[in-house]
Structure 1
């Protein structure tokens, strides 16, 4: 890395970068033309809690990055390469302690996040948007609302041209190649022209040609005046030539941080022989993999003295230094539990964010075979099948119990038909939300509100089609008020299932959520009043009837169809035991005006699952930090 005497003279917070983190118009084109940036870090510790045990991931590391230079982070597996990116970019705040200086000033976490970007190895993208649409959403969310449409379009065109993505501009993200996805991830973050960019293994999964193209793009970004830092796994000699600086890590410590040209001489001066015609990257990996080697420890302390200038282990000072590090670790243990979720501010206002996020969700939803097309088709097919099986049963006094079975099947299908698709759609959505939120694209409340509004069309269409078809084919009461009551309860139940699926799908992984939703909800069917009458239950289990949303749904539908003084049913046999609707409701312990009470309880369930969904999003953010 460049010598530490190379001072940075321009403050990112006052020149060339506006309050959103984007470069001002005067600096667009040749990014940050005459500006220089420097990120210096020293005595950085990162402690993580794993299996109730504190583990030191980064141990007193030091180094420096400057603009205009492409830096590679090398090291064996488990050396802490990704962790150092997470810490330096500000994505990890819990358990972090150290000194971070950006442009000769103490780094402010939120401001630094606006002026930088972090592109992880698995960059979450919405597969059902095109490249153009993805870029447009990025521009709309990241740039101020007063930015003109012509300026936004020019930014998109320039970035697509720079990254050579014109051929795939109108292609869906799911149809992009690995290299094109990598370039799209860069394009998204280049919208605000960030002066600092971190990449975690940008060449992972790519062939040698695509890898060379990606590193060439990174080199071009660095030459424009940015700080470009990337973790690279075993780069070839050809790739290694493109890097200016190298940071080599070993077991959470920095072995070397400096110019690439000085790395081999430094290792040789410490006693490590460099073979002829050997890849310097492979040599660095071999050196950093030697765990019990005093010469490696000497390199670590030499680098620390060079970049930190303090707390260096040199015989006589060893005890005091160890004590100082112990003190830092104790502070980390105490302060780490107090850190709360960082809430970066987005440039667009709440209403603007809500409109963009809702538009994006509706666009992806209409292209999703499972979420919309197949879901609607299945609702119609199953409704026709149920209507055919239970044809003309609604006013037949001899088949009243069979009609109740039909009602219970409707409840089961509507609930699971809306809960399970919500679970399946959660993993990709929440991954994109976590990345975008931590990058300050929008607020948590805006995303939450967009999920409430964008899912309403499907929650309205599917239960309406399903209930209407079955209601007509099974000849339920030909009274609009009763149909409206059945439709209202079906809609509310669909919303209950939807938000239960969202809450569990965003909290747990896919397999766990698919197991938990049926596992927790199906037992409550016992207390719905269909399998066993409420008065027949033991006193121990009766309280469970009061919290079973199946019970209130069943009760509300029974009231809608058989309650409110419905006349006696038709009877075409000698004797119909449940010819009288009031007698049926009395037998089921559902006699009385209960519809309003049932609806209120179901609305409380909706509020509960909405709250759980919101808390699950907060938990996602905390896990990511």
Structure 2
């Protein structure tokens, strides 16, 4: 519980709502916890706690008490005013008896609850034990009187009750006007706290104490630390990429330089793109919904804004993702027999990483809105149309209608496959080896013409994928903002 309170103090909120802060604590820790909360209240914060049957010594530490029975208010006011109030209505608390236990025992009788509720006007009255003398009616300084005060926003309220007028002043913590009654240490603590709160308010940027750049830096460091500590997850991803790279390399071993394996060339390009698509889509769908719950709580506590969080989330995943993708691409590239050229290998890895980033954005968009159960159903269902458009029409490319060609450009998997084919068989590649008498697709230009992609370019397909990635990640941002607003 003390750790939870410490986490809430990160952003120094002016108001605390704590649900049973002493639950599960021993007596000593309970007293320390309440003393800490009282110290926080003395520094200018408002601390509201729900607590059940506290000890008498613990009850005295609270400044005000609000007691509820059957959903109705049976007492509201200063803690010191509760016993005199009960005595004034003919229900005196026995000596050496815990007032908290006594008032709870009174609630066992429904008639008593009705009486107490009527006396308090169901919470519309406030019982105060701190009164100031009014000019027209002197008061004995040693006498304790109970004053009924109707709640009001005014700092000072005067009411009449049984021909007696009393005044209650609401304490203000903007300044420490009288520090003579406080010790030097308490006065210094309160003044420094109030000075800090003034600086906090003056330096507040869009409701946050730090700038977006500082929030981004802190969040990025935290996320990178979390990734580095998840050693098991990193090992699993590493083994996954290495094993899949070796398996794909064995399936298409040294086929990229064989002019008789045109359809295998297409299968290899489709297989590579689908690997990156499904690998990066399903991980956020399964993991991110749990993280959204924590982020929603931290954002509600105003620890950070959504924009720097989302930027840090995007950047933090890039280093590991790029490293694993390049490792996978290196294994596949040399095993399938693609001629090594630095520019060809660079673009090959670039396309793989872009497809991976687009797929991750698609998975995050689903994970930010749906829970794990619904996401597992929606993820494969939503990816199916992109996959269908990716493999459509390779054997009759020149007869595809114009509207269908435009629709196919909305599939990032299709764009990735086309870009991969252009990378492997473009860049002025020399004719492929041919072991038969005649190989129709030995020349790369013939293959590109057959697929009707000789008039496009790798960079155009990359641009389309980047545009789709922007759309998916924007949907993820909108989904997070919608989740935080609900």
The two structures have a TM-score, normalised by structure 1, of 0.56
In structure 2, distance between residues paired with 1:442 and 1:279 = 43
Q: 2:248 aligns with which of 386, 402, 413?
A: 386
Q: Which residue of structure 2 lines up, in the alignment, with residue 621 of structure 1?
A: 484
Is the alpha carbon distance of 1:221 and 1:597 closer, same or farther for their aligned partners in structure 2, counting shifts above 3 Å?
same
Alpha-carbon distance in 2 for matches of 1:235, 1:545: 68
The 1:296/1:497 distance shift into structure 2, 3 A limit, reads farther
Partner residue, 1:448: 310
Task: Rate the CA distance shift 1:214–1:376 in 2: closer, same or farther, 3 A.
Answer: farther
8 A contact 1:357–1:447 mirrored in 2? yes
Q: 1:233 to 1:502 in 2, by over 3 A?
A: farther
Aligned to 1:523: 385
Change in 2 beyond 3 A, CA 1:560/1:271: farther
Asked if 1:598 corresponds to 2:418, the answer is no
Structure 1 CA distance, aligned partners of 2:383 and 2:368?
Answer: 17
> Deviations 1:524-548 (Å, cap 9, x if unpaired)?
1000135765566688865531311
1:570 has 2:433 as partner: yes
Tell me the CA shift for residue 343 of structure 1. 7.9
Larger RCO, structures 1/2 (Cα 8 Å, 6+ apart): 1
Q: Quote the offset at 1:407 in angstroms.
A: 1.8
The answer to whether structure 1 residue 580 and structure 2 residue 430 are counterparts is: no
Secondary structure in 2 aligned to 1:348?
coil
Q: Are the aligned partners of 2:93 and 2:102 in contact in 1 as well (CA < 8 Å)?
A: no
Output aligned runs, 1:495-534, within 5 Å. Answer: 495-529=357-391
Higher deviation after alignment, 562-571 or 406-415:
562-571
Partner of 1:24: none
Is contact 1:221-1:228 (8 Å) kept? Answer: no
Preserved CA contact (<8 Å) 2:354 2:466: yes
The match for 2:29 is: 213
- 1:551 deviates by 1.0
Q: Distance in 2 between matches of 1:502 and 1:294?
A: 54
Partner in structure 2 of residue 611 of structure 1? 474
Deviates more, 1:384-393 or 1:419-428: 419-428
- The Cα shift of 1:364 comes to 1.0
Measure the CA separation in 2 of the matches of 1:270 and 1:513. 60
Could you tell me how far 1:305 is from its partner in structure 2?
A: 3.3
Distance in 2 (CA, whole Å) between partners of 1:574 and 1:270 is 112
2:17 is equivalent to residue 198 of structure 1: yes
Structure 1 stretches lacking a partner, 5+ long? 1-181, 311-341
Q: Distance in 2 between matches of 1:285 and 1:579?
A: 94
SS of structure 2 residue aligned to 1:441: coil
Structure 2 CA distance for partners of 1:557 and 1:194, relative to 1, 3 Å: closer
User: Residues 229, 251 of structure 1: CA spacing in aligned structure 2 closer, same or farther, 3 A cutoff?
Assistant: farther
Cα pair distance change 1:402/1:571, threshold 3 Å? same
Q: Deviations over 1:526-575 (max 9, x none)?
A: 00135765566688865531311111111111111123443332222455
Alignment correspondent of 1:298: 118
CA-to-partner distance for each residue in 1:319-352, whole Å, 9 max, x for gaps?
Answer: xxxxxxxxxxxxxxxxxxxxxxx98533333333
Separation (CA, whole Å) in 1 of partners of 2:92 and 2:450: 90
> What is the CA deviation profile of residues 57-88 of structure 1, one whole-angstrom value per residue up to 9, with x for unaligned ones?
xxxxxxxxxxxxxxxxxxxxxxxxxxxxxxxx
In the alignment, is the contact (CA less than 8 A) between 2:20 and 2:52 conserved in 1?
no
Contact 2:284 2:363 in 1 (8 A): yes
SS class of match (1:220): helix
CA distance in 2 between partners of 1:595 and 1:239 (Å) = 76
Which residue of 336, 352, 357 maps to 1:474?
Answer: 336
TM-score of the superposed pair, with normalisation by structure 2? 0.70
Deviation of 1:605 after TM superposition, in Å, equals 1.1
Change (3 A) 1:617 1:195: closer
Among 199, 208, 215, the alignment partner of 1:346 is: 208
Once the two structures are superposed, residues 341-372 of structure 1 have per-residue CA deviations (whole angstroms, 9 ceiling, x without a partner) of x9853333333332222111111111124653
Look up the match of 2:423.
Answer: 560
Residue aligned with 2:447, SS? helix
Is the contact made by 1:255 and 1:303 (CA closer than 8 Å) also made in structure 2? yes
SS at match of 2:17: strand
RMSD across aligned positions (CA): 4.1
Candidates 408, 411, 424, aligned match of 2:270: 408
Alignment partners' CA distance in 2, 1:516 and 1:497: 14
- Partners of 1:202 and 1:230 within 8 A in 2: no
Contact 2:262 2:441 (C-alpha < 8 Å) held by counterparts: yes
Seen in structure 2, the aligned counterparts of structure 1 residues 242 and 578 have a Cα distance that, compared at 3 Å, is farther
The answer to whether 1:484 aligns with 2:346 is yes
